[in-house]
Amino acid sequence: MTLVRLGYVAMSTQLQNASPSQTMTFKQFSQLNDKEAAIGKLERIANSNLHNCLRLLKHNVAHDIKFFRFSSKLIPLANHPELKGWDFINPLSEALEEIGHYIKEHPMRVGFHPDHFVVLNTSDKDVLKNTFRTLDMHRTLLKGMDVSPKHRCVLHVGGAYDDKEKALEQFIHNWGLTPRKLQELVILENDDTIFSASDTLYLCEKLGIPLVFDYHHHLANHQKDWQEDWERIKDTWGNSPLPIKMHISSPRSEKEFKAHAEYVDSKMFINFLHEIKGSVKEIDCMIEAKKKDEALFKLVEDLKKEPYIEWINEGSFSI
């Protein structure tokens, strides 16, 4: 038997007025003559985002959802180079501690997936510096919540830069420059265009990084059947305090195969689960569908028609 826990990404379509990604552009910030007042406005927006984040966590607990990805836009302009030195944690510490306390009270897995500009295989020193700065911001938020940062940030390998093998070696080179505390954050995901599961596995095994298997991405970009690599993928999580993690989504259409659909094709998902059941004690499945929590609820509804699934609660089951 394998325990399966379902989760979703960042925002709810069911909970009203609960965006954790309210923002302020640097242009808007710059147009405010009083810098202290401008920073105060950033802090009010960030506190509102964190308040909504706590509302989302309470919504999740009410529906037995114990797996959630935070928005990486909780703190507007937190890693902008022009705001270097802004101590955003101190004015947000109470809100972060409240979230952390709730997570301890209602144990759940949380993490981040920084935006595409966070690239560890770049040859551009400024891009690499910004990547380190952004990863450190995510680590600081987790520490502010008193959540262990280990293996909480999903990244893609990065760009191919016209030479995929060289790009893989550039990742290895830059990994050596990455501070240890940031290395511990990182887990890698196969993508839908450049770096397949096999490519990503090469880095994960060489550098001791867990691999987040994205099934949809694999279907869009594969060199061989994923089953051939499953044991190796599973083994990359051997030194992690967290269970193996995967991403599940469905193609929008055959023509737009790489785009995410609004919901998850339950048959596609169950076919995957039948292949891996019993190979791991537990797997956390992050739903990357446009309808967010609504897609999770719909998937649960569909899976309840399957006779061989034993439901633990509304967000977890055994197969």
pLDDT at residue 81, rounded to an integer: 82
What is the model's pLDDT at position 297? 98
- How does pLDDT run across 167-202, given as a tens digit for each residue? 999 999 999 999 999 999 999 999 999 999 999 999
> Among 260, 261, 273, 264, which residue's Cα sits nearest to residue 295?
264
Task: Tell me the pLDDT tens digit for each residue of 109-152.
Answer: 999 999 889 999 999 999 999 999 999 999 999 999 999 999 99
What is the identity of the amino acid at 188? L
- pTM score, whole prediction: 0.95
Q: Is the pLDDT of residue 82 over 90?
A: no
Give which of 113, 108, 107, 186 is closest to 150, Cα–Cα. Answer: 186
- Contacts for 168 with CB less than 8 Å, ≥ 6 apart: 121, 157, 195, 199, 202, 203
CA 234 – CA 279 distance, rounded (Å): 9
Q: Tell me the C-alpha distance between 116 and 76, whole Å.
A: 16
A 10 A CB-CB count for 300 gives: 19
Q: What are 39-51's pLDDT values in tens digits?
A: 999 999 999 999 9
Q: Is 297 exposed, middle or buried (0-12, 13-18, 19+ CB in 10 A)?
A: buried
The CATH number assigned to the domain with range 3-318 reads: 3.20.20.150
How confident is the model over 246-282, as pLDDT tens digits? Answer: 999 999 999 999 999 999 999 999 999 999 999 999 9
Compute φ and ψ for 311, nearest 5 degrees: -80, 130
The two three-digit tokens of residue 191, written as one number: 């993508």
Instruction: Look at residue 200 in the predicted model and tell me its pLDDT.
Output: 97
| Nearest alpha carbon to residue 110 among 55, 63, 148 | 148
Q: Mean per-residue pLDDT for 223-244?
A: 95
Strands 3-9 and 316-318: antiparallel
For the chain, which residues make up each domain, given as ranges? 3-318
85 pLDDT higher than 80: yes
For residue 30, the model assigns a pLDDT of 85
Pairing label, strands 67-69, 3-9: parallel
Give strand pairing partners of 212: 189
